[in-house]
Structure 1
Amino acid sequence: DKDVMLEAVQQSGGALQFAEGGLRADYDLVLEALRQDGEALQFAEEGLRADFDVVIEAVMQNGFALRHASDFFKADKDVVREAVKQKGGALQFAEDRRGWWNELDGGLQADHELVLEAVKQDGDALRFAEGGLRGNR
């Protein structure tokens, strides 16, 4: 029952794991769960884990929710930036989607601006940065 699930996720976003039927694909219900607990993204239907608004809501509530986003968003600089603003350690979930045409680009974990944002939030996030940034002066 959607009303019961809505009440449950308003109290605890993780209650989304108990949703049955199509409720894990219900946009409004999932957003409500994510407002309480971004990590509830792991219980959302796969299509919603590939929806920009859903993923942004999740990572703004808990940056570590990035680990449950579709691979596309793990490689999206704007989404990763929002995640590391909330939890610097979310940098570890950023994916490198470089192809042969830009293999010299170090990827998101070598992006100076993104790494700086991550370490401002959590100094330990530096361990997830590309080696060159760890020695940057």
Structure 2
Amino acid sequence: LQHVHKSLRKDKSIVLQAIRQNGSALEFADQSLKKDKLIVLKAVNKDSGALKFVDESIKKEIEDKRLSIFQKRLVVNRKKLNEKR
């Protein structure tokens, strides 16, 4: 994504392809896509370091969503562990 024409950095499908390979490719996406929750969540789930490239207007919401998902996984894993005992 770093080396493609700027117009392609606005193309959602191209950006999605890039972040499937490397979440930090979000750095080179058009600013409008750094506000797109689908794009941002996929990027951050692939590489948590991509969070630094997320638009400030949604960063807190994305962090909260990731924390919620993490907490739910902990609960599920705890239940599975207790069932095995």
**Same fold at TM > 0.5:** yes
**4+ runs deviating over 6 angstroms:** none
- Computed over aligned residues only, the root mean square deviation of the Cα atoms, in angstroms, reads 2.0
Deviation at 1:74, TM superposition (A): 1.6
Pick the aligned partner of 1:54 from 39, 44, 66. Answer: 39
Matched, 1:34 2:28: no
Q: 2: CA distance between counterparts of 1:46 and 1:19? A: 15
Unaligned runs of 5+ in 1: 1-15, 86-112, 118-137
Deviation at 1:81, TM superposition (A): 2.5
Taking every aligned residue pair, what percent have the same amino acid on both sides?
Answer: 33
Cα shift readout 1:45-80 (whole Å, capped 9, x = no counterpart) = 0000000000011011001101100112221111x4
Find the residue that maps to 1:23 and give its secondary structure.
helix
Aligned residues: 70
Q: 2: CA distance between counterparts of 1:33 and 1:66? A: 16
5 Å-filtered alignment, 1:1-137, equals 16-76=1-61, 77-78=64-65, 80-81=66-67
Higher relative contact order (CA 8 A, sep 6+): 2
Quick one: which amino acid aligns to residue 17 of structure 2?
A: E
Higher helix share: 2
TM-score by length of 1: 0.47
